[in-house]
Each structure stands twice: as structure tokens, then as C-alpha cells.
């Protein structure tokens, strides 16, 4: 089934992705365990790592909602800027063509 | 430091004023109301204990407690959230600690005149959760938004991250009720009138009672500004190839004149190096990203959208590369949470140790930022090499002025300190480091503190120098209002007020 | 002896305590249900960690601090909201562990002879009766499965339904509805030979060795009846079986633990359980602390509610609910009934603001105090367990709410 099982809670072995940074789960960065010799790492079951990450994202979107009704996307604004430039370019082109004629 | 032991009859008097349940004398009550999150000499913890703690619920109770203290010349220290970073709420002379957290009631919401009147023990996030249903918002947004309280915001005259649009605490508090050091209860605003925002009557007393760190009394009620809940938020993070170009771009963005612009924050190269260690947004960034700017806007959709487009264009024209929605939105929403993370502390060999956060918060003019930044890092580097318990977490520069985000910047160098290793020698080293940093600020005609206050060691000594002739006036005011020096004694060099004649 | 214990304790928890002490930022304060009511910094998660630093540096002893640690429902809000968990806990594999710290301090207190009178009585009674002394009802181990009398449930099998003490003796409609729902879905399960208290409350009150005896009984009962999988209907049991039991039994612990909301949501998705009878009520959902904050289970109950026809569901998101609590957990209500009552009163008044007629919970322990506070409101609000509602929507007659 899909319930909790202790044997499924041990995280996979880490692989290094950058100096000082490892990865055990896709897109989840972790510190190189070698750097944790003074402050020890905890035995963190898989469910807990997943819980923290999921709640982090939920918390962030909560914070947006808390401050405003909507969030405006910069990527969309970039697109709009590009499109309006294209428009300006095409209008410019057509005016110059008109002049030629 | 001498401490006034509180006798049993006095404790009984306090019990009679606030109720027996709300007078605390236990060790844990006192130890846990001693420190704030700023670097703290743990090895000297017991030197800073209050003698007794009271948890009042009403203005009258506060007034009675203060009257009693004034009569018996017992020090009084107000404590709100205990998140202040300049040790304002740390008792230096023992005495009575007045913890205002139980004073957390909303007294009146006036939607016609756009004000909320409340007790100062309430937190801003909680307040906004309560008033959301009315479509209004109280926009004081420090990074400590989820944990500091209105009383502490007033006590420090704090800095808000979105003040370019909405103003800081001092702009958002319309008027307040204050218990003076002699116990009288007064109301102060721009002039009179609890809900009047602009007045030319008399002196502007409201300003005097902002940021005094509990040295001139205790705020017991405040009337605050309500703004329409923003329809839209726009946050954008831009990457630059070096600090120079980000710095120039900051100038261009802040001077755009866009009214919805709430903040521009500049991250220096050391900050980016620091973030690359452990921050999921910065680990994957390409090597040639060296410096970052964050901007935010709030307002109606019809305003924010076109203004946002304009900002994107300015950033692009001045060398900025948009870092995408995920980084921009995610990082902006985490603006409160990403400070004071002890495990971000690194020794020179890169091993992790828990470090406490020092947040320098000088106000510096735009043109002096590059020099100040360089000199600060040089100081930090020297101390890191010599003592091995410090760490440089880089600089932020936040637009500082209310409503017109240009000209001067809250300039922040973040320094990690391994508190567990503090002893007399290393604490002294830290204070010296702090002093050197402060001296750079003054050398460049800055102000020591944009938000936390000048009450911590390494800042306080420089208050007379920064204030000049104004410091004489401060002393006279202090002596008149607080004849027995009971309110938060030892802070801001105000003991000097009693040493003369 | 007590000194030795204290030193060992401090050594074990000092690093975690410094993680908090050196932040000290108190993002945890306003989500803490106890702090919201008492506003007393002694009860703050920050203090729970700082005391350990003070025990290390400044001569505070367990006797100085023990009583403060009563003021916690072990709801988990603080440690989840703490930036050192939420933002960097996964990166460092090191997070703020306030719940563990509070439990460990309570255990140290008991071992050092500093006991809380009501907890002591409660645990003694539990040992005596093998089930918790659920208030106002006679507890008799012979009647621990009385709720199932008319249901004809087998003993044993691969899957066992574990019925909590409060459910077995007080709100019996919850296990009854649950069992009927599972049967309707064709899901095979049985009961234990003799269910004892899960041991969680004793552990939360600091009586770890006693708690372990319950755990050992239950595990051997499960083994004896051939169980491989345990279904929990109470969030506290889910925590005990997924956190305490693994700590007691280490790698030998091979049970699969499934929480009922996860199971039922799945059965609905797989169309094994069909909810066809409209329930024309206006409801909101109370996120039980242990599911929401401590385990991250907040989707499945909402999925279930959304699949009930006729229901008007006025949801309050689970992040807002980090700061909600019924006050029922962590033994807190046993020692501090008045504060606990104020916590449930505040939870209920939040529900009242939404103009609902039912508050749905998925934690049987929360249901009694919330029901009492709901009755005090002008606009009476009923408290129902999610499984009771599911049974109703499945057209099952579970006999109505029984307490
Ligand atoms: C993570 C983090 C981020 C932060 N970010 C910011 C930021 O962005 N901007 C900013 O401005 N600050 C920031 N701070 C600092 C701190 O949060 C502020 O200084 C805040 O205003 C302090 O509020 P408090 O309620 O915690 O007050 P406290 O620390 O309890 O008190 C602060 C001062 O006010 C006095 N005081 C308290 N109550 C009263 C009263 N009722 N009347 C008179 N005096 C009183 C105290 O004696 C003390 O001197 C941050 C702190 C942290 C930990
Ligand atoms: S528990 Fe976390 S949020 Fe609370 S004070 Fe400690 S470090 Fe800060
Ligand atoms: S677990 Fe819950 S009740 Fe206990 S300190 Fe944390 S937030 Fe408060």
C-alpha cells in the first residue's frame, strides 16, 4: 500500500552536484555531509524532508496571498514588452514602406 | 552593574496592580526576558536579568507600575516581541520588566477614517489576518513581520521593506497613548486629534515618542493607518555581471518616479557568494551572475502592470537579466525568513557551525555606498582571519526613504558570530569590530542605524558624535521627563544627562 | 543521579538549542496556540530551547524549568514555522526539534522526580486499565471493542483497524462509522485480540518506560494475529506508530501504518467507495495539528470533503491553520484545562465567523472540547468527525453521533 514503512524512510545515497552541495532527491539540494562534522546531521526520514519542502512552497504562496490579491508575472511582462516592440517594429516598417511608395 | 533587589512588600504592591498571576519572579521568567536575537555575551547572561517581570493588561496598570517604580527609583524596561536587534529590551540595571504581550487587543476599526486603534502587544501579521475581511491592510513590513509587535515597532521606529510605497512605522502611526516615566498618561500625534494625520499645532511630539527605545515612557495604545488591501504584487529579481552595474541600475530604478515602487534592494557580490553556499535559488545560478537587485511594487492592477513593464525595461537597459518568476516570487515571499539562519555560519575551512546574526543597519547616501561597502568588508575580513569565529554574510542595500525611494539606503552588512565561543576576549573583539564599522558610517556622513536603534554596544558610544548639539537637547528632555532615570536606564548614553551639574 | 541525567540531557540537546538560541527570532510565537492565549514568554518555543542553554551555562536545573514545559500541546506549529526547519531543515538535514525537546524535558523531569500531579494520576490509571482514563466514562478493558458489537468484525488478519481510547469508550460513532465505511468499500480488515492504549499520551507526559510497555503489548498482539498493516483513525495514534514505535523497536519494526483519511481518499478515487447521498450542510474543516503540522497530511481530508455531494465546504487553508489548535493534545488539557478551553473556544469562534453549521474534524480527541465550545456559541455549531460524514454520504446508518 502507500502507508508509512520504516524501511522506506532511509534517504538515498547523496551525489555531489557542486562544491559543498549534494543531491539525494531530484531538485533538492543538501549540504555536503562532510561539512557537518561539528554540528551533526539528524536522522531525517524521507517523509520529513518531503513535508518540509511541500510546506515551504505552500507557505510562500500563502505569503503572496497574505499581501495582495494577485501576483503579477515578470515573465508575462517580458513577453508583453517583446510583443509591443514587434508591433512597433512592424508599424515602423509599414510606415517606411509607405514612404517609399 | 548594580541591581535593585525588589522587596517582598513591593512585589505585593505589584501583585495588587496587575494581579498575582501576572507578576513573575521565577528564574525562567527572568532568563527568558533578558536577551534579544542580536549577538549576546552568553557567558555573562546573568548580568542582564530583570529582577521581576510584570504582564499588565491595561494602560492604568502600566501607569500604576511606572508610578510605583518612579517613587522607589526602580528601573523599568518595556519589552514587546523581544526581536529587537539593538538590545533595546535588554535590562542593563535589573528592575521591573514590563512585558506588554498581553496587551494585544484591537480596540476600534474605523473604516470611514481608515484607522485602527489597538494595544501595542499585537503582531502585524496577526492584525492583518483580522482586518483582511474589511479589505484593508496595515503595511508595516519589516523582515520580522511575523514576530515583532506594534509596541516594539514604535519603540525602535522601525524600517519597513515596502516603505517606498507605504511609509515606515513613524509614517503609519497616526497617534498614540504614552505612559510617561512619572506615570501620567498622555496622547501624542502630529498635533492633537487621535486620527489626525497632519497638524501644525504645538510641537510634533509624535516623533519624540518614536524610536526612544523605552527611555521616555511606554506606549500603551496606538492609532494606525489602514491602506486598501493591494490588488497586485509584483516582485522581480535581476542578475548583473558585477556590483558596479547593479549599483548603477539601482540608481536608475529608484529614480524612475513610479509611485507603486515599494522597494529596491541591492545585493553585493559577497552576498551572492554567501547565498550560493546554501540557497536553492542561487546554487544553480551561472558563474557570471555576481550581483542582484530585487524590486517590489504594490497597488491596483491597473497601476502595477504598466509600471512593472517600465521597471523591467529599465533593468534590462541597465544590464539586468530577469531571473524568472520562480526565483523572483519565491525569494520575495521568503523575505522575512531568510535572515538569522545559524547554520549558514561557516568556519574558514567551510565547516558548519551555528552562528548568531549581526545586522548592521546604517543609513548611507547612494554616492557613498561603494566605499562604505569596501571598507566594511575589509574590517570583517581582518576579524574573521584573526579570531576564526566570525563570518561575512555580505551586504544588502535597501531604499530607505518613505514614499520616494532614492537618495539614501539602509546599508546592511550581515556578520555571523559563533556565540558558543564567546568569552571576555572574543566579546571585546566583537565590540571593537562593531565600533570600526560604525566609524566608517560616520566618516561618510551616514547615520549609525536606520531601524534597530543606537542602543547596543559599539553604536551607543557614538550617539553624542552623530547627534552633535542635538544630544544636549536629548539629555535635557530626558531629565525633564524622567527625573529619576528609571526608564530603560543605561541606553543611548542618556545616563550622561544626570551626571552634570 | 539527577545531575548526571541533566548533564546527559543537556549534552544531547544543546546543539539543537543553540540553533534556536542563536536565531532567537520568534517566528514561532504567534503560531503557538498556548502563546496566543497566555502571551507569557515562558511558554514560548524560544524559551524551551533557551532554558537548555541556561542549564548549560548558568546553573538552571530541571527543577527550575520543568513546569514551563507543561505549557505545550505538542502541536508542532512552532517547529514547522521555524525558518530553521521550513527554509533550511532539508538542506542541512538538521531542523528545529521543539516537540522532541519538550517530550525529552518532560521525561527528564519525571526521571528526576519532578512530576505533574494530574499527569501522574492519568498515567497510573492508564497502566491500571490498559486504556486511558477517558473522562466521564467508565473504563473497562472488557468493553474496549463494544463499539464493534453489531458489526461482526473478525479478529486479526493482514490489516488491523486500531481504535483510539477516546473513540473506543467515548465517541464510539467514529470507529463505528469508520468500520462501516471500510466494509462498504470492500476493504478487508480486523481488530486486535486486545487493544491497549497506544502509549503515546504516557510518552508525551514524560513516562517513557510505561509508554513502552503499551507499545510492546500492541506490537506483539499485531504479530500474534498476523498483522502487516495498521489503520489508524486518530492522528495521535498515527504519530505514535510512525515516530515512537520506530524509535523503540528500530529496524525490527516492519508494520505499515496507514491513516484513515489517506485510505478513504484513495478508496474514493478508485471508485471503491461511492458517496451518493447528498449532505446538505455548510461545513468547514479543522486541520488536526498532528496531521497538518506534524505530518503534512492536509490534502486527503479535503479531497474527501470535496467528494461529498451537496456539501458546501468553506475551507480555511492549512497554512492559516498552523496557528489553530483544539487544545486537546499533548496532555495539556489534563494539566491546564482552563487554557486548553480557551484554545478550543478561539478555534470555534474562527469557525463561527464563517457562518457554517458544522465543523468537521479528523481527530477524535479534538471533538469533545470543540463540541462543548460549539454549544456555547449563539449560532450553534455542531462538530462531526470526517468519517461520520463520509458514512452519512455513503448512505450508511451508523446510528448518529454517539458519546
Ligand atoms: C529576523 C529579523 C528581521 C528583522 N528585520 C527588521 C526590519 O526589516 N526592519 C526593522 O525595523 N527591524 C527589523 N528587525 C528588528 C526588530 O524586529 C525590530 O526592531 C522591531 O521593531 C522590534 O519589535 P519588538 O516587538 O520585538 O520589540 P522589542 O525588541 O521587545 O523592543 C524594542 C525596543 O522597543 C522598546 N519598547 C517595546 N515596547 C514598547 C512600548 N510599548 N513603548 C515604548 N517602548 C517599547 C523596548 O524597550 C526596546 O527598546 C528584525 C529582527 C529580526 C529578528
Ligand atoms: S524556534 Fe525557530 S522561530 Fe522560534 S525562536 Fe527558535 S529559531 Fe526562531
Ligand atoms: S508544539 Fe505547539 S503548543 Fe508546543 S510550543 Fe510548539 S506551537 Fe506551542
B282 has a pLDDT exceeding 80: yes
For residue B218, the model assigns a pLDDT of 98
Could you please state the CATH topology (level 3) that the domain comprising B8-99 is classified under. 3.30.43
For residue B4, the model assigns a pLDDT of 56
Residue nearest atom 18 of ligand 1, based on CA coordinates: B84
Q: Choose among B272, B275, B447: nearest CA to B360.
A: B447
Q: How far is the CA of B80 from the centre of ligand 3 (A)?
A: 20
Residues 6+ apart with CB under 8 A from B98: B54, B56, B62, B65, B66, B76, B77, B78, B79, B218
For residue C302, the model assigns a pLDDT of 98
Domain boundary among C62, C86, C111: C111
For residue B1, the model assigns a pLDDT of 37
Residue nearest atom 2 of ligand 3, based on CA coordinates: C75
Chain A: residue whose CA lies nearest to C80: A52
For residue B500, the model assigns a pLDDT of 64
For residue C350, the model assigns a pLDDT of 96
- Summarised one tens digit per residue, pLDDT across range B361-409 is 999 999 999 999 999 999 999 999 999 999 999 999 999 999 999 999 9
Mutation test of ligand 3: which of C77, C86, C325 has the most ligand atoms closer than 8 Å to its C-beta?
C77
For residue A92, the model assigns a pLDDT of 65
For residue B3, the model assigns a pLDDT of 46
Pair C261, C159 in one domain: yes
Task: Report which ligand 1 atom has the smallest distance to the Cα of C24.
Answer: 53
Q: Which carries the bigger pLDDT value, residue A89 or residue B38?
A: B38
- Summarised one tens digit per residue, pLDDT across range C293-321 is 999 999 999 999 999 999 999 999 999 99
C54 has a pLDDT exceeding 70: yes
Task: Number of A to C CB contacts under 8 A, please give it.
Answer: 91
- Please list every protein residue whose CB sits less than 6 Å from any atom of ligand 1: B 36-37, 77-85, 88-89, 100, 120, 142-144, 148-149, 151-156, 158-159, 161, 213-214, 218-219, 339-340, 451-452, 488; C 25
The answer to whether C30 contacts B147, with C-beta atoms less than 8 Å apart, is yes
- Summarised one tens digit per residue, pLDDT across range B170-217 is 999 999 999 999 999 999 999 999 999 999 999 999 999 999 999 999
| Domain carrying residue C60 | 2-111
Domain B230-338, architecture per CATH: 2-Layer Sandwich (3.30)
Cα separation, C222 vs C228, in Å, equals 8
- Summarised one tens digit per residue, pLDDT across range A12-23 is 999 999 999 999
For residue C153, being part of any structural domain is answered with yes
B56 has a pLDDT exceeding 90: yes
Domain boundary among C111, C137, C156: C111
Measure in Å the smallest separation between the Cα of B53 and chain A Cα atoms: 34
Residues in B closer than 8 angstroms to A78, CB to CB, are 312, 322
CB contact A29 to B (< 8 Å): yes
- Total domain count, chain C: 3
For residue B5, the model assigns a pLDDT of 73
CB contact A80 to B (< 8 Å): yes
For residue C221, being part of any structural domain is answered with yes
Which residue is associated with the grid cell 449532505?
C279
- Summarised one tens digit per residue, pLDDT across range B209-257 is 999 999 999 999 999 999 999 999 999 999 999 999 999 999 999 999 9
Q: CB of C210 closer than 6 A to ligand 2?
A: no
Q: Identify from A22, A74, A76, A87 which residue to disrupt to test chain B contact, counting B C-beta atoms within 10 A and taking the largest count.
A: A74
Band of pLDDT at residue C380, cut at 50, 70 and 90 = confident
C21 has a pLDDT exceeding 60: yes
Which residue is associated with the grid cell 498614540?
B176
C124 has a pLDDT exceeding 90: yes
Pair C44, C181 in one domain: no
For residue C377, the model assigns a pLDDT of 87
Band of pLDDT at residue B501, cut at 50, 70 and 90 = low
For residue A94, the model assigns a pLDDT of 58
Domain B340-456, architecture per CATH: 2-Layer Sandwich (3.30)
- Summarised one tens digit per residue, pLDDT across range C151-183 is 999 999 999 999 999 999 999 999 999 999 999
Pair C126, C244 in one domain: yes
Q: CB of C32 closer than 6 A to ligand 3?
A: yes
The answer to whether A68 contacts B301, with C-beta atoms less than 8 Å apart, is no
The answer to whether A81 contacts B354, with C-beta atoms less than 8 Å apart, is no
Q: For chain B, what is the mean pLDDT? A: 97
B106 has a pLDDT exceeding 90: yes
Pair C132, C204 in one domain: yes
Which ligand is in closest contact with the Cα of B354? 2
For residue A88, the model assigns a pLDDT of 79
Domain boundary among C111, C139, C165: C111
DSSP assignment of B167-231: --HHHHEEEEEEE-TTS-EEEEESSS-TT-S---SS--HHHHTSS-TTSS-EEEEEEEE-EEPPS
C221 has a pLDDT exceeding 60: yes
Name all chains with 3 or more CB-CB pairs below 8 Å to chain A. Answer: B, C
For residue A101, the model assigns a pLDDT of 37
Residue nearest atom 7 of ligand 2, based on CA coordinates: C20
The answer to whether B231 contacts A29, with C-beta atoms less than 8 Å apart, is no
For residue A100, the model assigns a pLDDT of 41
Could you please state the CATH topology (level 3) that the domain comprising B106-228 is classified under. 3.30.465
Q: How far is the CA of C103 from the centre of ligand 3 (A)?
A: 11
Pair C288, C381 in one domain: yes
Band of pLDDT at residue B445, cut at 50, 70 and 90 = very high
Percent of chain C with pLDDT over 90: 92
pTM for the model = 0.96
What is the SS3 assignment for chain A? CCCECHHHCCCCCCEEEECCEEEEECCEEEECHHHCCCCCCCCCCHHHHHHHHHHHHHHHHHHHHHHCCEECCHHHHHHHHHHHHHHHHHHHHHHHHHHHC
3-state class (DSSP) for residue C360: strand
For residue C340, being part of any structural domain is answered with yes
Percent of chain B with pLDDT over 90: 98
Q: CB of C291 closer than 6 A to ligand 3?
A: no
CATH number of the domain enclosing C343 = 3.40.50.11810
Residue-range domain boundaries for chain B: 8-99, 106-228, 230-338, 340-456, 460-498
Q: How far is the CA of C311 from the centre of ligand 1 (A)?
A: 46
Pair C126, C103 in one domain: no
Amino acid at each position: 500500500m502507500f502507508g508509512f514503512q520504516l524501511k522506506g524512510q532511509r534517504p538515498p545515497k547523496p551525489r555531489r552536484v557542486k562544491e559543498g552541495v549534494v543531491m539525494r532527491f531530484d531538485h533538492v539540494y543538501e549540504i555536503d555531509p562532510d561539512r557537518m562534522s561539528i554540528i551533526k546531521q539528524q536522522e531525517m526520514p524521507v517523509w520529513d524532508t518531503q513535508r518540509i519542502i511541500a510546506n515551504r512552497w505552500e507557505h510562500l504562496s500563502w505569503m503572496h496571498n497574505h499581501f495582495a490579491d494577485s501576483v503579477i508575472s515578470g515573465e508575462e511582462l517580458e513577453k508583453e514588452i517583446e510583443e509591443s516592440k514587434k508591433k512597433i517594429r512592424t508599424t515602423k516598417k509599414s510606415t517606411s514602406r509607405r514612404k517609399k511608395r | 552593574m548594580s541591581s535593585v533587589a525588589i522587596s517582598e512588600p513591593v512585589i505585593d504592591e505589584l501583585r495588587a496592580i496587575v494581579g498575582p498571576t501576572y507578576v513573575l519572579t521565577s528564574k525562567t521568567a527572568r532568563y527568558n526576558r533578558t536577551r534579544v536575537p542580536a549577538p549576546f555575551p552568553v557567558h555573562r547572561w546573568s548580568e542582564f536579568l530583570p529582577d521581576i517581570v510584570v504582564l499588565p493588561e491595561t494602560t492604568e496598570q502600566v501607569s500604576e507600575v511606572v508610578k510605583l517604580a518612579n517613587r522607589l527609583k526602580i528601573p523599568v524596561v518595556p519589552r514587546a516581541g523581544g526581536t529587537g536587534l539593538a538590545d533595546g529590551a535588554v535590562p542593563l540595571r535589573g528592575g521591573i520588566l514590563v512585558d506588554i504581550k498581553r496587551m494585544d487587543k484591537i480596540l476600534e476599526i474605523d473604516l470611514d477614517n481608515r484607522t485602527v486603534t489597538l494595544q501595542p502587544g499585537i503582531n502585524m501579521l496577526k492584525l492583518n489576518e483580522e482586518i483582511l475581511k474589511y479589505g484593508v491592510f496595515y503595511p508595516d513590513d519589516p523582515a520580522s513581520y511575523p514576530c515583532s509587535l506594534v509596541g516594539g515597532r514604535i519603540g525602535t521606529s522601525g524600517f519597513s521593506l515596502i516603505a517606498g510605497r507605504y511609509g515606515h512605522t513613524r509614517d503609519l502611526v497616526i497617534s498614540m497613548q504614552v505612559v510617561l516615566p512619572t506615570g501620567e498618561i498622555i496622547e501624542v500625534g502630529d498635533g492633537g486629534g487621535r486620527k489626525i494625520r497632519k497638524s501644525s499645532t504645538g510641537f510634533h511630539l509624535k516623533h519624540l515618542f518614536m524610536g526612544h527605545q523605552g527611555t521616555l515612557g511606554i506606549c500603551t495604545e496606538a492609532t494606525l493607518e489602514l491602506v486598501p488591501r493591494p490588488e497586485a504584487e509584483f516582485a522581480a529579481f535581476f542578475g548583473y555581471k558585477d556590483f558596479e552595474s547593479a549599483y548603477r541600475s539601482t540608481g536608475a530604478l529608484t529614480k524612475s518616479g513610479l509611485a507603486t515602487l515599494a522597494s529596491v534592494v541591492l545585493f553585493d557580490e559577497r552576498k551572492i557568494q554567501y547565498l550560493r553556499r546554501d540557497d536553492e535559488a542561487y546554487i544553480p545560478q551561472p558563474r557570471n551572475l555576481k550581483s542582484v537587485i530585487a524590486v517590489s511594487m504594490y497597488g491596483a492592477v491597473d497601476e502595477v502592470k504598466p509600471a512593472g513593464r517600465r521597471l523591467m525595461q529599465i533593468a534590462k537597459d541597465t544590464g539586468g537579466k530577469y531571473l524568472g518568476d520562480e526565483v523572483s516570487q519565491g525569494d520575495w515571499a521568503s523575505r522575512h525568513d531568510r535572515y538569522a539562519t545559524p547554520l549558514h555560519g561557516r568556519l574558514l575551512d567551510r565547516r558548519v557551525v551555528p552562528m548568531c546574526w549581526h545586522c548592521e543597519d546604517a543609513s548611507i547616501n547612494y554616492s557613498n555606498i561603494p566605499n562604505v561597502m569596501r571598507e566594511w568588508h575589509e574590517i570583517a575580513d581582518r576579524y574573521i582571519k584573526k579570531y576564526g569565529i566570525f563570518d561575512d554574510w555580505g551586504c544588502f542595500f535597501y531604499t530607505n526613504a518613505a514614499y520616494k525611494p532614492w537618495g539614501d539606503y539602509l546599508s546592511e552588512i550581515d556578520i555571523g558570530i559563533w556565540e558558543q565561543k564567546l568569552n571576555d576576549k572574543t566579546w571585546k573583539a566583537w565590540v571593537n569590530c562593531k565600533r570600526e564599522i560604525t566609524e566608517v558610517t560616520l566618516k561618510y556622513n551616514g547615520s549609525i542605524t536606520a531601524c534597530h536603534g543606537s542602543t547596543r554596544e559599539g553604536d551607543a558610544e557614538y550617539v553624542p558624535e552623530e547627534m552633535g548639539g542635538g544630544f544636549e537637547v536629548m539629555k535635557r528632555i530626558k531629565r525633564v521627563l524622567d527625573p529619576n532615570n528609571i526608564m530603560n536606564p543605561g541606553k543611548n548614553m542618556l545616563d550622561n544627562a544626570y551626571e552634570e551639574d | 543521579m539527577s545531575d548526571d541525567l541533566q548533564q546527559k540531557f543537556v549534552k544531547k540537546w544543546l546543539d539543537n538549542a543553540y540553533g534556536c538560541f542563536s536565531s532567537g527570532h520568534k517566528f514561532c510565537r504567534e503560531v503557538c496556540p498556548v502563546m496566543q492565549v497566555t502571551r507569557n514568554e515562558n511558554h514560548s518555543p524560544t524559551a524551551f530551547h533557551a532554558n537548555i542553554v541556561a542549564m548549560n551555562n548558568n546553573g538552571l536545573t530541571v527543577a527550575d524549568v520543568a513546569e514551563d514545559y507543561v505549557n505545550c500541546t505538542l502541536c508542532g506549529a512552532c517547529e514547522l514555522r521555524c525558518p530553521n526547519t521550513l527554509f533550511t531543515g532539508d538542506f542541512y538535514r538538521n531542523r528545529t526539534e521543539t516537540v522532541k525537546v519538550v517530550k525529552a524535558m518532560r521525561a527528564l523531569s519525571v526521571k528526576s522526580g519532578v512530576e505533574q500531579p494530574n499527569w501522574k494520576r492519568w498515567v497510573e490509571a492508564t497502566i491500571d486499565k490498559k486504556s486511558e482514563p477517558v473522562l466521564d466514562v467508565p473504563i473497562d478493558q472488557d468493553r474496549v471493542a463494544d463499539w464493534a458489537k453489531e458489526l461482526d468484525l473478525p479478529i486479526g488478519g493482514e490489516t488491523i483497524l486500531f481504535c483510539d481510547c477516546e473513540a473506543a469508550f467515548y465517541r464510539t460513532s467514529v470507529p463505528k462509522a469508520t468500520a462501516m465505511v471500510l466494509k462498504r468499500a470492500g476493504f478487508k480488515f480486523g481488530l486486535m485480540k486486545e487493544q491497549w492504549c497506544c502509549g503515546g499520551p504516557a510518552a508525551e507526559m514524560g513516562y517513557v518506560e510505561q509508554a513502552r510497555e503499551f507499545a510492546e503489548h500492541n506490537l506483539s498482539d499485531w504479530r500474534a494475529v498476523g498483522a502487516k498493516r495498521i489503520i489508524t483513525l486518530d492522528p495521535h495514534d498515527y504519530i505514535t506508530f510512525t515516530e515512537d514505535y520506530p524509535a523503540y523497536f528500530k529496524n525490527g519494526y516492519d508494520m505499515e501504518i496507514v491513516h484513515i483519511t489517506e485510505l478513504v481518499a484513495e478508496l474514493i478515487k478508485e471508485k471503491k467507495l461511492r458517496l451518493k447521498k447528498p449532505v446538505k450542510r455548510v461545513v468547514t474543516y479543522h486541520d488536526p495539528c498532528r496531521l497538518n503540522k506534524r505530518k503534512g497530511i492536509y490534502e486527503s481530508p479535503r479531497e474527501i470533503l470535496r467528494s461529498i455531494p451537496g456539501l458546501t465546504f468553506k475551507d480555511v487553508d492549512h497554512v492559516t491553520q498552523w496557528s489553530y489548535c483544539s487544545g486537546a493534545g499533548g496532555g495539556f488539557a489534563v494539566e491546564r484545562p482552563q487554557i486548553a478551553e480557551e484554545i478550543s473556544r478561539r478555534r470555534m469562534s474562527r469557525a463561527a465567523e464563517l457562518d457554517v453549521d458544522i465543523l468537521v474534524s479528523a481527530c477524535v480527541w479534538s471533538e469533545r472540547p470543540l463540541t462543548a465550545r460549539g454549544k456555547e456559541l449563539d449560532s450553534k455549531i455542531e462538530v462531526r468527525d470526517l468519517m461520520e460524514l463520509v458514512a452519512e454520504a455513503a448512505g450508511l446508518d451508523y446510528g448518529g453521533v454517539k458519546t
